[in-house]
Structure 1
Amino acid sequence: MNKKIKCPECEYENPINFTSCIKCDHRLKNAQYYTENYKDFYELFNEDNQRILKKSKLTDTAYDTVLYNIINIGEDNIQLLPEKASMHNLLNITKPYVKVQYDNSKRFPAYLSYYSYNNILIKKTTDPSLIPTAILHEFSHHLFNEIIKQCMMHLLNHEKNLFIESFAWYLSLENTFIELSGEFMAHKVQEYFLPDDFEGFTSVIQLLHDNPNLDEEKLKEALYFGNAISKDIIYILEHFITPQASMYGTVFENVGIEYPIVELSVDEKLDKLYTLITDAFDRILTDKVEMQATLSQMNKNYIYLNC
């Protein structure tokens, strides 16, 4: 798994979904990966793979492998001595994973930044002092997506392709509870690495404000899960970033969040992640025609933004 594409200029082995070399920026001929092929949908989403998923289990050993696979994507290109989360360091860290660029469009005018299809887009109007924390927030979303992809790849012994990428994107935005988990997770990472620039759980509070009738138990479970995943994102990033939180102690009060955050056990976290993946897979099989169209459109978005 985690196939590579070799740069013909410098021979550096890049992640399979890259179109420019990490080392020398040479344009990579990667048309085969970024080709819309409907057969790939049926090769991935079928009853045989459903049975494999049902028989599989996401063990702590397997999950450790997933996290190390994600770390290894960057370790060949990033100096091993962690540095503070400055803009220069964050751009260096994110390069093997995502594109970071300014956004001149009128989409999401109230946002400082947003994450979309392996791209971190920084609004031109964002104050330069806020860019590091914006990059860190959006990169956390990408790493959450990468965890989903790598888990799927591990469970099915399958190489990464566009449909696995689109599956992770679909899953991470499937409902408000998953969005809550992702936003709480990203804010916890910000809080840990850049506490001086942390401005609170703004996007979480906004989601709660916009959805006042959410089931309270599911809402709390979403926050617990986001908190658990944040620790894994922090673990990945500590290989590259010096945490600044230690001087403030290790307990944060989650200001603005009215629910006490319960720590999930490793088994509880992995059961939740496994259930999210298998339930989403089952829903896709239940309505293949509509879901092929949905994921194919996501594939087209990946192609448009990355080629």
Structure 2
Amino acid sequence: METVEFYYSQAKNFYNNKDYTHALESIQKAITIDNRNFNCWFLITEIYLDLNRIEEASSCVITLINLDVNNSHAWYLRTRVLIGLKRYDEALISSNKSLELNNTNYKYQKLNNNIKEFLDFRTNKNSTTVNNSSVNNKTTEKKTPQKEKIFNPINKYESIFKVISSSNIQLFKDKKLNSEIYYNLLDNVMEDVLKKIDKNSKAHIYNKITQFVSYFAEIQYESIDNADGLYSCNVIKIDRSGKITKTIAILIHELAHHLLSEIFELYLMYLFNSKKTDAIEAFAWYVLNFKEEYLLMNEYCAHTVENYFMPFQYNNYESFNRVLKKFNLSNSEDIEKINFATKLGNTFAQDIIYMLNKYFDDNLKKEIKKQFILDGCVLKIFEGTKFKTNDFFNDEMKFDKINAILIESIIYIRTHFGFLELVNYKRIFRKVNKR
């Protein structure tokens, strides 16, 4: 019987002999069997890099880092990917991370020096150009190169009618994101927030996470019927009556809901070439709620993110299982919908984990575990699910799925009179955003 080890060994031999086509076929079979295998993702990333298929390598290396954020060679491969994407300032940050984890590796040192020399050369070249073109020949101060903005929207889609126009169906068929732009947009979201946060703060872990989450969404503390937390339209409602560990888990869970909605907003902003508006936020939120399988996907995504950052003993799928009750588990069509929802939910969860790992460093994760022990939350078994999956869509398929969902949503709104619901969402977003 063919195993992960069999296909990995086969792929490694093909790769060493520079037979990349067969190496790729074998390693993809290995990942199909177990897509949490670190060595397999290592090898497929290197294959894509050698083939100069940078976007595929970018997608793979994100998974690689999510599987082991402290692996120096994973950060080295991430550096090479960023160089291939011409994101040199980010490549230097990634290279510094690989050296931080292993400062004796000659390859890491050499690549780090090469990036620094290139950035210095680019800076000097830009300064020289400015000086030569100056009318009064004044010396221009040398400036650190700014990260090039990959997306500068010029439109402002403020009308619900414009957002759900039937002409957008063709737009969604013709235009979609690519990996470079997608991860740049995710990075920008986190960079904007991290500029405002002191990661070395001596504050309690609960206060740190609360402060971080509040940069994304408004937090309201109140009792909620049949739930410990709730997210809707940029507001997180949470019952704070439980232990601190439980509250932290709820905050991470609800933040994941917000970030999933944010991903759809960013996607729409890019397709429309528009700044963020209440109308775009309303449509993105509607998209994630108008069908039960998308509600299920949303919950699976949030649980996967929560479970990643919380101690294993705290992992649960409570809200996912509540939505699951709406499906007929003896119906093959419903089972197909569930499997699609969990795979897509896991896909987005990997992207959100990638984003949050920029804030949740090892020290913060240790503080969460310490609080877990202080709260006495030891060996308590929470509710699992038989639909847990490690499968996810690659970037190309992910973008195809998003476009298909957006098209489906517009058609549904226009045929099921969903306009009034959208208007109500827009009104709520406007009210919250003004506070």
TM-score by length of 2: 0.54
Distance 1:39 1:192, change over 3 A: closer
Aligned-partner Cα distance in 1 for 2:280–2:237: 22
TM-aligned CA deviation for residue 76 of structure 1? 2.1
In structure 1, the residue matched to 2:393 is 264
Equivalent residues of 1:220, 1:259 under 8 A apart:
no
Contact preservation (8 Å) 2:158, 2:279: no
Equivalent residue letter for 1:198: Y
Aligned to 2:304: 188
What's the CA shift for 1:211?
2.6
Residue of structure 2 in register with 1:275 after alignment:
404
C-alpha displacement of 1:236: 0.4
Confirm whether residue 70 of structure 1 aligns to residue 70 of structure 2.
no
Q: Does 1:58 align with 2:187?
A: no
> Aligned pair 1:298/2:417, yes or no?
no
Could you say if the C-alpha distance between residues 281 and 101 of structure 1 is closer, same or farther in structure 2, counting changes exceeding 3 Å?
same
CA distance 1:82–1:139, shift in 2 (3 Å):
farther
SS at 2:325 equivalent? helix
1:92 aligned to which of 193, 211, 214: 211
Paired residue for 1:234?
A: 353
- How far apart are 1:224 and its partner, in Å? 0.5
Contact residue 58 and residue 274 of structure 1 kept, 8 A: no
1:161 aligned to 2:277?
yes
- CA 1:126–1:301 in structure 2 vs 1: closer, same or farther (change >3 Å)? farther
The 1-side partners of 2:389 and 2:281 are apart by: 33
Q: CA RMSD in A?
A: 2.9
Kept in 2: contact 1:82–1:239 (CA 8 A): no
**How many residues matched?**
258
Partner of 2:255: 139
Unaligned 5+ residue runs, structure 2? 1-156, 370-382
Secondary structure of the structure 2 residue equivalent to 1:137: helix
* Equivalent residue number for residue 226 of structure 2: 110
Aligned partner of 1:89: which letter? K
CA distance in 1: counterparts of 2:296 and 2:259, whole angstroms? 16
Matched-pair identity in %: 24
Aligned-pair distance for 1:54? Answer: 2.3
For residue 180 of structure 1, what is the amino acid of its counterpart? L
In 2, Cα distance between equivalents of 1:284 and 1:109: 29
Query: RCO higher in 1 or 2 (8 Å CA, sep ≥ 6)?
Result: 1
On the 8 A contact 2:240/2:247 being kept in 1, the answer is no
Q: CA deviation at 1:202?
A: 1.3
Bigger Rg, structure 1 or 2: 2
Whether the 8 Å CA contact 1:166–1:299 is kept in 2: the answer is yes
Partners of 1:85 and 1:194 within 8 A in 2: no
Q: Please report how far the alpha carbon of residue 155 of structure 1 lies from its aligned counterpart in structure 2 after TM superposition.
A: 0.9
**Cα gap change, 1:191/1:97 in structure 2, threshold over 3 Å: closer, same or farther?**
same
What is the TM-score when the length of structure 1 is the normalising length? Answer: 0.75
1:248-298 superposed Cα distances (whole Å, 9 cap, x missing partner): xxxxxx9422465423222222221221122213333456xx333111111
Q: Which runs of 5+ in 1 are unaligned?
A: 1-37, 248-253
Distance in 2 separating the partners of 1:258 and 1:76: 38
Q: 1:39 to 1:262 in 2, by over 3 A?
A: closer
Q: Is the Cα contact below 8 Å between 1:189 and 1:234 reproduced in 2?
A: yes
Contact 1:53/1:156 (8 A) holds in 2: no
CA distance in structure 2 between the partners assigned to 1:141 and 1:277 by the alignment:
18
Once residues 64 and 160 of structure 1 are traced to their aligned partners in structure 2, the CA distance between those partners, rounded to angstroms, is 18
What is the CA distance between 1:303 and its match in structure 2? Answer: 3.6
Rate the CA distance shift 1:304–1:158 in 2: closer, same or farther, 3 A. Answer: closer
Look up the SS of the partner of 2:231 in the other structure. Answer: strand
Higher mean Cα deviation, 53-62 or 257-266? 257-266
- 1:176-215 mapped onto 2 (5 Å cutoff): 176-196=292-312, 198-213=314-329, 215=334
CA distance in 2, matches of 1:84, 1:271: 43
